[in-house]
Amino acid sequence: MNCTLEKVLADAKSLVERLRNHDNAAEMLIEQTTSLNKRVEAMKQYQEEIDTLNQVARHRPRSSLVLGIQQENRQIRELQQENKELRTSLEEHQSALELIMTKYREQVFRLLMASKREDPAIVTQLKEQHTTEMQAHIDKINEMASVMRKAIEVDEGRLCEDEERIKQLQLENRGLRELLGISREAFLVLKREDASESTSLSPLLTSTDVSLQKNRVIFLPGMFQDVSVSQNETVQAFVSSIPSDVAFVTVQFHTQRHNATLSYARVPSLSVSLTAVDSGLLSVLKLGQTSLSLYLSSPNGDTVTGTGVILPYFSADPVPGACNIESNLDIDPNVYIHYNLYETTIRFAPANLGYKRGETPPVCDESTESSTHWRLQYDIYQYFLPENDLSERSLFSGIQAVADIQGITDNAKRVITLLSTDKTTAVFNSIPGQGVVYAVIVRDPLLNTSASYIPVHTYGCSFASTLDGCETLGKISTKVFFTIAGLAGLFVCFFGHRFFKCELFCMGFSFAAFFFFVLITQTTELDYNIRLTVTAVIGVVGGVLLVMSWWRFGSVMACVIVVGLMLGFLIASTVLFTPLGDLNVFRQSDVVFWLTFCCIMIVIPLVFVRWPREGNITTCGIVGAYAVILAVNAYIYTSLSFITLNILKRLLNTNFSSVFTDVPFQTIDYVMISVWVVLGVCGIVLQLYRERSRPFFPPSPYLMWLQERERRKTNVLDPSHHFPSLPNRLLARIRQLTRRMEPAGEHTPLLL
């Protein structure tokens, strides 16, 4: 019993300790809850203050607020200066008033002492007179102060104008001195040449200097200059009169077919030059530098013709390609391009923040704060050249239209904006034979400044290829295939429902050929012409199978569903050909893309179940007219061919989902859309009119033959009932051909 009581006491003691611990924990929780409530109230108060500030700031961006604050600071400083001036004037007025009041008191005291008696009238009169005089003096002083203030402002304005005029004259004088120095240089070189010819001293050096002097091209900032680089020569690109506030310049040179070498030095090397059809260099200017020289040459010994421009930038502008870690150049402002049959990829080096002349550039990878280059943004633009125009003139016009920031934003289409945390690459749809110019603008959202990379162009094909180059684009087998398909499509567009078997053959051919081409391309590496031939054979087999299934089973609805899938495929391809197909949800997920595509494709045949004849005629008109468009595309480029070509590329290339599928829409494309609509509507209306009094679909020949055979078996009075069967007729014909003919003798008629 004692052990039991001790146990109970021990348990009670442990329970008391637990209750005490629970009380302590509850007090701590209450304290934490109180502190949390205070923090929540503080956060609410902070949020209310932030909302109030946003309402006052009208939700403007940070850059505009910073500019507004700077303007307000400038106004505040002006007001403070004006307050100082007013305070000084007030102190002067007060000292003057004190002096006047002292004189006044002395005069009053003298008058009182003279009269030896108090006269309030005289005192009041003197006070009024003194007040009037004081007010007049105060007005004069204020007027003089305002006049002096206006004179100071006028003098300051004139001083600023004089300083600006002096700077302008100094800049012009400097430019004239540079031009004079250039002319003196040329004169001295020519003089040295004459002297060398007369004395026969160092002829090689003199001829080199004279050739370089003759091959000098003077550039003006922002002005395009056409340059022709002959075989085995170097052209010096010279720019002078660079303003002192320009921190760096970019030099770009563009050709259409042949590479050109742009170099900092007269003798190009990997670290100081770039060889490409779209080449560019960035030069950071030194203190006091007002001129710059770069050199152009032809690396392959061919004559190269191109256009170039020099663009100036200031210290606040970002420096394109300053954080380069891939190419040999220290600062690489170029955009590099790579293309294949499916996609075109561009890449460029990250930029850095701007800096003044003579300063050390900011470190690229020190931190990721907003004060570093990680706050920069990159806008990628796309500009289409005129369709079916491979001329050099159209390329140079397009390059000049998007060479600088203003031209890019006005003429090109912004496709995507990349952050500094994103990879500096972008993928686009390859369009062989179509000229495209890609441009990149780097922006500083904090300072609201920007700079452009060197634009780059591509035609999606090679001018050097003799078989399948840009000028001979399109294989003979492709043209033959799509020409036959276009003729068949034109027939189906106007007569497909009337000749039902021909329509089924064409639809079965298209259905089987498309999917077999995808299969054979993914699983084999056969030549293109062989793949196209095998695809055509399989397409014929698919068309025959579809016709035979209808001939044997007579199921019109099953055939119409296959036809409806063809129309659904074309409609789904058209929907995703629009800008809707470039949404991130479709570019980032193949599952979403193909699920949407299949849903659209399957919905169309469901409509055919209710209206089979109308749906079949509509398919004939739309699909047949599009086959005509594809046949025209085999000879003249049109963007409408990419309605189905984009789907084919996505099936064949797993990386095509991230591609931007923008294509140009120009005059030829609108003409082709009109042709497609006119052919489709005319074909649908004509077939609906012709088939209005006919049966919905022709009967199955096999079922009709079965019915005819059954009728002959049961109807004895039918003359065809006594005809021998087909095998018996064939055997009789064979016996007749193999039997030997007896000679005919004389026959005497039987006389009765």
pLDDT for 455: 94
Q: Is the pLDDT assigned to residue 339 strictly greater than 80?
A: yes
pLDDT for 223: 86
List CB contacts of 396: < 8 A, sequence separation 6 or more: 226, 254, 306, 307
pLDDT for 206: 43
pLDDT for 254: 93
Strands lying side by side in the sheet with 343-348: 335-339, 343-348, 425-429
Q: Is the pLDDT assigned to residue 299 strictly greater than 50?
A: yes
Report CA torsion sign: 403, 408, 412, 418. positive
Average pLDDT value for the chain: 81
Q: Is the pLDDT assigned to residue 201 strictly greater than 60?
A: no
pLDDT for 81: 85
Range in 374-383, 594-603, 708-717 the model is least confident about? 708-717
| Beta carbons within 10 angstroms of residue 22's beta carbon | 10
In 3-state terms, what secondary structure has residue 649? helix
Higher pLDDT, 747 or 692: 692
Q: Does domain 227-360+374-458 have CATH number 3.40.50.300?
A: no
Q: What is the Cα–Cα distance from 163 to 184, expressed in whole angstroms?
A: 31
pLDDT tens for 258-291 read 889 999 888 888 888 899 999 999 999 988 888 8
CA 35 to chain centre: 52
Strand partners, 238: 218, 293
Structure tokens at 371: 């004060």
pLDDT for 126: 64
Q: Is the pTM of this model over 0.75?
A: no
Identify which of 484, 616, 626, 491 has the alpha carbon closest to the alpha carbon of residue 550.
616
pLDDT for 101: 83
Q: Which residues of 581-609 are buried (b: 16+ CB within 10 A; e: fewer)?
A: bbeeebbeeeeebbebbeebbeebbeebe
pLDDT for 63: 66
Structure tokens at 418: 């990349």
362 contacts 284 by C-beta, under 8 angstroms: no
Q: What is the Cα–Cα distance from 606 to 598, expressed in whole angstroms?
A: 13
Cite the beta strand spans of 285-334 per DSSP E.
Answer: 292-297, 304-314
pLDDT for 199: 43
Percentage of residues of the chain with pLDDT beyond 70: 84
Structure tokens at 512: 């089987």
Q: Which residues of 611-625 are buried (b: 16+ CB within 10 A; e: fewer)?
A: ebbbbbbbbbbbbbb
Q: What is the Cα–Cα distance from 521 to 706, expressed in whole angstroms?
A: 43
pLDDT for 69: 72
317 contacts 324 by C-beta, under 8 angstroms: no
pLDDT confidence of 61, banded at 50, 70, 90?
A: low
pLDDT for 136: 78
pLDDT for 454: 94
The mean pLDDT of 34-44, rounded to a whole number, is 88
Range in 144-148, 334-338, 368-372 the model is least confident about? 144-148
221 contacts 292 by C-beta, under 8 angstroms: no
List CB contacts of 275: < 8 A, sequence separation 6 or more: 259, 260, 261, 262, 268, 299
pLDDT for 282: 93
- Which residue is it, tokens 């004088």? 173
End-to-end CA distance of the chain: 157
pLDDT confidence of 65, banded at 50, 70, 90?
A: low
Task: Work out the burial of residue 578: count CB atoms within 10 Å of its CB; fewer than 13 is exposed, 13-18 middle, 19 or more buried.
Answer: exposed
Domain range list for the chain: 9-54, 63-176, 227-360+374-458, 476-690
Identify which of 249, 300, 248 has the alpha carbon closest to the alpha carbon of residue 277.
300
Structure tokens at 308: 């170039």
pLDDT for 212: 47
List CB contacts of 258: < 8 A, sequence separation 6 or more: 277, 298, 300, 302, 304
- The CA-based diameter of the chain, rounded to the nearest angstrom, is 203
The mean pLDDT of 461-488, rounded to a whole number, is 76
pLDDT for 207: 44
Higher pLDDT, 68 or 78: 78
H/E element holding 416?
Answer: strand 413-419
Q: Is the pLDDT assigned to residue 332 strictly greater than 80?
A: yes
pLDDT tens for 678-687 read 999 999 999 8
The DSSP line for 45-103 is: HHHHHHHHHHHHHTT--HHHHHHHHHHHHHHHHHHHHHHHHHHHHHHHHHHHHHHHHHH
pLDDT for 105: 79
Identify which of 442, 376, 373 has the alpha carbon closest to the alpha carbon of residue 408.
442
pLDDT for 208: 44
Q: Is the pLDDT assigned to residue 210 strictly greater than 50?
A: no
The mean pLDDT of 113-118, rounded to a whole number, is 59
SS3 track for 227-286: EEECCCCEEEEEECCCCCCEEEEEEEEECCCCCEEEECCCCCCCCCEEEECEEEEEEECC
Q: Are strands 425-429 and 436-444 parallel, antiparallel or unpaired?
A: unpaired
pLDDT for 743: 55
Helices 642-652 and 556-577 meet at what angle, rounded to 10? 90
Q: Is the pLDDT assigned to residue 751 strictly greater than 70?
A: no
CA angle 149, 153, 156 (to 5 degrees): 135
Higher pLDDT, 25 or 705: 25
SS3 track for 568-589: HHHHHHHHHHCHHHHCHHHHCC
pLDDT confidence of 146, banded at 50, 70, 90?
A: confident
pLDDT for 58: 64
pLDDT tens for 634-679 read 888 888 888 888 888 888 877 777 777 778 877 888 999 999 999 9
